Amino acid sequence: MTAFSLAAGYRRRILGRIVLLTALAGAVAAAMLLDVATGPSGVRLTDLLQADTEPALAIILWDIRLPQAVMAVLVGAALALAGAEMQTTLNNALASPFTLGLTNAATLGAALGIVFDLSLPGIPSLWTIPLNAFAAAVAATLLVNALARSQGAGADTIVLFGIAMVFVMNALLWLIQYVASADAVQQIVFWTMGSLNRATWEKDALVALALAICLPLSLRQAWAMTTLRSGEDHARSFGIPVARLRLVVLLRVSLLAAAAVSFVGTIGFIGLVGPHLARLLIGEDHRFYLPGAALAGALVMSLASTASKSIVPGLVLPVGIVTALVGIPLFMTLLLSQRRRG
Amino acid sequence: MTLYLNGLSVRYGQRPVLTDLCLPPVAAGSVVGLLGANGAGKSTLLRALAGLQSATGTATLDGQSLLTSTHHEAVGYLPQSLPQGSPLLAYEAVLSTLRATRPDLSRRAAEQRIETVFDRLGLRDLALRTMAQLSGGQRQMVGLAQVLVRQPRLLLLDEPTSALDLRWQLAVLQTVRSLTVDHGCLALIAIHDINLAARFCDRLLILGDGTVIADGPPASALTPATLSDAYAVSARVERCSLGTPIVLADSALPL
């Protein structure tokens, strides 16, 4: 073999991954177009091209379908990126914002905001619920992290406290629903179902902002996270501050989970499936895995959004229900076929 | 370069694991074998020196404490157990280690180092396979490549040959031996195979219940009495045709 032949072989693999990422981005764009073309009003894509001259079509395109389609992509990317980072730093393939109680905490924060009308002076009402959700998710993260640190800050301990957090947050949510007014309970139920119906450009911008903050920061730690896949002791002995990395990741995940949950409610499945799809397709070099997970999550969520408008003609099902009912069997089939192939 | 331990102690809660451990200065170029029964404190000693386990006492490398400050650049630690396979390529496991710890290296310098370490360990054919496709022993070799690519001065290897077949056991120990000679580094190796340790180590530190039972060159450290104390076995120590001690264990003694 010639000198640097390993590096040359590796660069060919990298090229393959860049092609895959580009294909995934193309698939997301196509899925988004399909999402925009689908809706309960039955207006087709060709009709929407006339939106410049028809005010009703312009409203359907610019105020309903496009913001929802963009929100599906953004929320899918945010949840999958959060799941990918959690799975790596907690060394647990089942970790996601949903399984560790962060989504539940954000939902609780949103519920508290709804029931007690926790608005802050000078803060626009659009920000009130997301801020409550974010504050609750961060508080839950810090609590889980502090409890885990008291026991040695191991990944398994964090997972254990995270699962306990799911039950505590659910119990508190039920308590709030028990004492809340019927109107507030109805609003809270919206959060727990997961729906893209209330998407607006402003809300899209907020989720995009969370992603724009988190993704570059994640990529800056890509090498450290990739090294962590070689084992925590190994990584620590190389000088990687694993406990600090874990805390920073959990804070980023709180922001992503809160941004997503605030506007579309609880969608548990994407944070799990996005990372798994990316791992199957791209591997675990986090320079490619993290954007790959975000794109895979965006793709699945966008397809789920289309499905939610197509399963029952004329009716839009909450997307959280669709991701679970349609996505999970597909995901299980994919995983099992991968396992059979070896 | 010199490694020196004095009064080194480690506790897990109330339970002492290493007690007042002392090691006279070990010079660069040495390979020190850590022997002892399961639970004797070999892994704990390596973890403490790698900065993964809090300890009291003195442990210095070139006069700088290994316990109070971070000396990750100087120390290379190979854990006893590595994770099950992942979709990470062996090449990128090594690359990520280098990139995460030495961002200052140019791409060309990093690639050069990686090629060298894969060649040195004879792993070229495995470089572009995923860790999931490798056997336990092969993963252990990649773990060693991750350690060596950083070019540490002190190697702390926890049972680096435990998952390897005979050929690879010899290959790893020969590599470590030649690294210490060529680059003047120092290696501490926890190992269960006493005869391999006698063959490749300059010095043996035999531990029992967290204290030193024997310390010295293999010919003096390995005696029926020290083996009885360390392992609770009845054993003979003979010489092979090369003059290296060979341990023949005859029977287990009652505990």
List of chain A residues whose C-beta atoms are within 8 Å of the C-beta of residue B128: 6, 9-10, 13
Which neighbouring-strand residues pair with B212?
B207
pLDDT class of B227 with cuts at 50, 70, 90: very high
Instruction: List, edge to edge, every strand of the sheet that includes B211-216.
Output: B75-78, B154-158, B186-190, B31-36, B203-208, B211-216
Instruction: Flag if B124 and A283 touch (Cβ within 8 Å).
Output: no
B81, B88, B124 ranked by CB distance to A226: nearest: B88
Query: b/e string for B26-64 if b means 16 or more Cβ within 10 A?
Result: bebbbbbbbbbbeebbbbbbbbbbbbbbebebbbbbeee
Q: For B149, which residue in chain A has the nearest alpha carbon?
A: A238
Instruction: Flag if B115 and A236 touch (Cβ within 8 Å).
Output: no
CB A274 within 8 A of CB A294: yes
Instruction: Flag if B101 and A231 touch (Cβ within 8 Å).
Output: no
Q: Extract the tokens encoding A13.
A: 């693999």
∠ CA A256-A258-A260, nearest 5°, is 70
pLDDT class of B69 with cuts at 50, 70, 90: low
Other C-beta atoms lying within 10 Å of the C-beta of residue A29:
14
Domains of chain A by start residue, with CATH: 36-341 (1.10.3470.10)
pLDDT in tens, B79-114: 988 887 788 999 999 999 999 999 999 999 999 999
Instruction: Please give, rounded to a whole number of angstroms, the shortest distance from the CA of B226 to a CA of chain A.
Output: 32
List of chain A residues whose C-beta atoms are within 8 Å of the C-beta of residue B115: 3-7
Which 3 state secondary structure label does DSSP give B202? Answer: coil
Instruction: Flag if B99 and A223 touch (Cβ within 8 Å).
Output: yes
A3, A229, A234 ranked by CB distance to B88: nearest: A229
B70, B128, B146 ranked by CB distance to A9: nearest: B128
pLDDT at B85: 74
Q: Extract the tokens encoding A11.
A: 């660069």
Q: For B157, which residue in chain A has the nearest alpha carbon?
A: A234
Instruction: Flag if A237 and B75 touch (Cβ within 8 Å).
Output: yes
Other C-beta atoms lying within 10 Å of the C-beta of residue B209:
16
Instruction: Flag if A6 and B128 touch (Cβ within 8 Å).
Output: yes
Q: How far apart are CA A220 and CA B121, in angstroms?
A: 31
List of chain B residues whose C-beta atoms are within 8 Å of the C-beta of residue A238: 72, 97, 100-101, 146, 150
Task: For chain B, give the mean pLDDT.
Answer: 92
Q: How far apart are CA B201 and CA A325, in angstroms?
A: 61
Which of these, B101, B5, B102, B98, lies nearest to B49 by C-alpha position? B5
List of chain A residues whose C-beta atoms are within 8 Å of the C-beta of residue B88: 226, 229-230, 283-285
Instruction: Flag if A231 and B146 touch (Cβ within 8 Å).
Output: no
pLDDT class of B255 with cuts at 50, 70, 90: confident
Instruction: Flag if B115 and A4 touch (Cβ within 8 Å).
Output: yes
Q: What is the DSSP letter of B89?
A: B
Distances (CA, A) of B42 to A30, A155, B216: 58, 25, 16
Tokens 């039920």 correspond to A174
List of chain A residues whose C-beta atoms are within 8 Å of the C-beta of residue B143: 230-231, 234
pLDDT at A339: 64
Q: How far apart are CA A320 and CA A193, in angstroms?
A: 6
A3, A91, A237 ranked by CB distance to B77: nearest: A237
Which neighbouring-strand residues pair with B78?
B157
The A-side interface with B (CB below 8 A) comprises 1, 3-7, 9-10, 13, 91, 223-224, 226-227, 229-231, 233-240, 279-280, 283-285
Query: b/e string for B66-79 if b means 16 or more Cβ within 10 A?
Result: bbeeebbebbbbbb
pLDDT at B169 over 50: yes
- Compute, in degrees rounded to 10, the torsion defined by CA atoms B29, B35, B41, B46: 20
List of chain A residues whose C-beta atoms are within 8 Å of the C-beta of residue B97: 227, 230, 238
Q: How far apart are CA A55 and CA A195, in angstroms?
A: 26
pLDDT in tens, B126-151: 999 999 999 888 999 999 999 999 99
Which residues have CB under 8 Å from B30's CB, separation 6+?
B180, B186, B187, B202, B203
Instruction: Please give, rounded to a whole number of angstroms, the shortest distance from the CA of A234 to a CA of chain B.
Output: 6
Q: Which of B77, B88, B118, B138 to mutate to test the interface with A (most CBs of A within 10 A)?
A: B88
Instruction: Please give, rounded to a whole number of angstroms, the shortest distance from the CA of A211 to a CA of chain B.
Output: 24
pLDDT at A1: 45
Which residues have CB under 8 Å from A58's CB, separation 6+?
A51, A52
List of chain A residues whose C-beta atoms are within 8 Å of the C-beta of residue B112: 4
Q: How far apart are CA B245 and CA B248, in angstroms?
A: 10
Q: For B140, which residue in chain A has the nearest alpha carbon?
A: A230
For chain A (342 residues), the mean pLDDT of every run of 10, in chain order, is 76 96 98 91 76 79 91 96 93 82 86 81 75 85 79 75 88 91 84 81 92 97 95 91 89 87 82 91 95 97 92 84 78 71 54
CB B189 within 8 A of CB B176: yes
Signed CA dihedral, B36, B37, B43, B48: sign only: negative
A224, A233, A284 ranked by CB distance to B88: nearest: A284
CB contacts < 8 A (A, B)? 110
Residue type, A155: A
Domains of chain B by start residue, with CATH: 1-74+152-216 (3.40.50.300), 85-146 (no CATH)
This model of the complex carries an ipTM of 0.91
Q: For B156, which residue in chain A has the nearest alpha carbon?
A: A237
Instruction: Flag if A279 and B87 touch (Cβ within 8 Å).
Output: yes
Write the secondary structure of chain A as one string of H (helix), E (strand) and C (coil): CCCCHHHHHHHHHHHHHHHHHHHHHHHHHHHHHHHHHCCCCCCCHHHHCCCCCCHHHHHHHHHHHHHHHHHHHHHHHHHHHHHHHHHHHCCCCCCCCCCCCHHHHHHHHHHHHHHHCCCCCCCCHHHHHHHHHHHHHHHHHHHHHHHHHHCCCCHHHHHHHHHHHHHHHHHHHHHHHHHCCHHHHHHHHHHHHCCCCCCCHHHHHHHHHHHHHHHHHHHHCHHHHHHHCCCHHHHHHCCCCHHHHHHHHHHHHHHHHHHHHHHHCCCCCHHHHHHHHHHHHHCCCHHHHHHHHHHHHHHHHHHHHHHHHHCCCCCCCCHHHHHHHHHHHHHHHHHHHHHHHC
List of chain A residues whose C-beta atoms are within 8 Å of the C-beta of residue B87: 279-280, 283-284
Q: Average pLDDT, stretch B156-162? A: 93
Q: How far apart are CA A265 and CA B111, in angstroms?
A: 46
List of chain B residues whose C-beta atoms are within 8 Å of the C-beta of residue A1: 124
Distances (CA, A) of B170 to A309, B134, B193: 64, 19, 12
pLDDT at A3: 52
Q: How far apart are CA B121 and CA B119, in angstroms?
A: 5
Other C-beta atoms lying within 10 Å of the C-beta of residue A58:
14
Q: Average pLDDT, stretch B24-37? A: 93
Q: What is the DSSP letter of B130?
A: B
Instruction: Flag if A223 and B96 touch (Cβ within 8 Å).
Output: yes
